Chains A and B, each alone.
Chain A
């Protein structure tokens, strides 16, 4: 990965520290777009350690981040025109909140980095600003006990950092809240769409091949005709679960994500029915409804992982019922659909 965000070196009592830009280069913008599409996302890292923004000294604030480059980029951009230190923890290339949930953005790593980079020599104060969402992995009182550094939890969003610092480290209730507006949900759609990976080829291919079956044996013409319709049906259901559910999340009835997905899967089913994509006989139509409903429901349920408000207990409760039903419905649908090849 390019290191064009490094603009120079700053000498400190604890050695040289890389100075970084607070402006995104076209390279940063382009790689951000790619990473939102899951391209190279598993290795989108910056090196852990200490960085400088502007010309910080012993009185400057220290901000903590993860070594997922997207997290780091948002932080350095938010520190525009400030003099500050950035301490990047080794979170294996995972963002702050997820890494905090796993514990890699945690007390142990933070304590280790504070000591390893000799922060007590670099700054004269004893404050360190940790993003609020890091609190899932960091125990402020333990860090204080082990290093003498007082953890101040900053705002949830990097964009609020300037206001937070200017107000003397006071976060408004708004800054402390995790919201999930349309814009943030929309950003997640590309990653959701890539979720299916090779199944996106394999399952439609399977339907395509099976589409040629009929009572007289096998027909390539039939495969083309019905296989094409199957593609549309399958991708519509996939799109309903992966893209429409995130976008329409607050407006779809039901609390359970699986029901939200089922609802949209059935709506899509009716649209496809209207355009004669579901076939001609009642068995085939019912089979397709079972398939589109279960696909959309399953994928919508998966979006719980990307959402910002679902609890483990809640998702477990939801899945206990939904997952078996999705599997049963999809299986009956598939068997039913194969069966209708022969009538």
Chain B
């Protein structure tokens, strides 16, 4: 099966390669093969595959990655709009694999 790819040129993922120490943690935690490490530096290979889960940012020991992470979930965004909060899925009271 071909890979699913969502909308192009929307994600907020940023990588500061000067801070990168080549530890490869981002390539381990990313579920969509966004990163690749070449010559001891990470590069963003497949930007549009990113789903902004935030695992890379959280696990980068050098703080070289930033992304506005959150749930890519329409119900969660509506939920946030109604409550006037950040988008947040209501997994504990409605959906299964949301987020």
Contacts and interface: CB of A to CB of B under 8 A. Distances in A.
Given A312-B69, A317-B10, A135 B29 contact: yes
B65 interface: no
Given A98-B98, A177-B31, A310-B51, A315 B74 contact: yes
Interface string B83-99: 00001110111111111
Interface in A249-273: 249-250, 255-257
Interface residues of B, number: 50
A54 interface: no
Nearest to B91: A98
B32 interface: yes
A111 to B, nearest CB: 14
Contacts of B15: none
Interface centre among A36, A41, A305 (most CB of B within 10 A): A305
Interface string A307-322: 1111111111111000
Interface in B44-73: 49-55, 58-59, 61, 68-73
B37 interface: no
B89 to A, nearest CB: 6
Contacts of B59: 135, 138-141
B74 A302 contact: yes
Contact of A250 (B1, B71, B89): B1
Interface of A: 36, 38, 41-42, 92-95, 97-102, 132-133, 135-141, 153, 156, 171, 173, 176-181, 188, 191, 195, 249-250, 255-257, 301-302, 304-319, 323
19 contacts: A97-B97, A98-B97, A98-B98, A98-B99, A100-B55, A101-B99, A135-B58, A136-B53, A178-B31, A302-B73, A302-B75, A304-B72, A304-B74, A305-B75, A305-B97, A309-B5, A309-B72, A315-B73, A317-B10
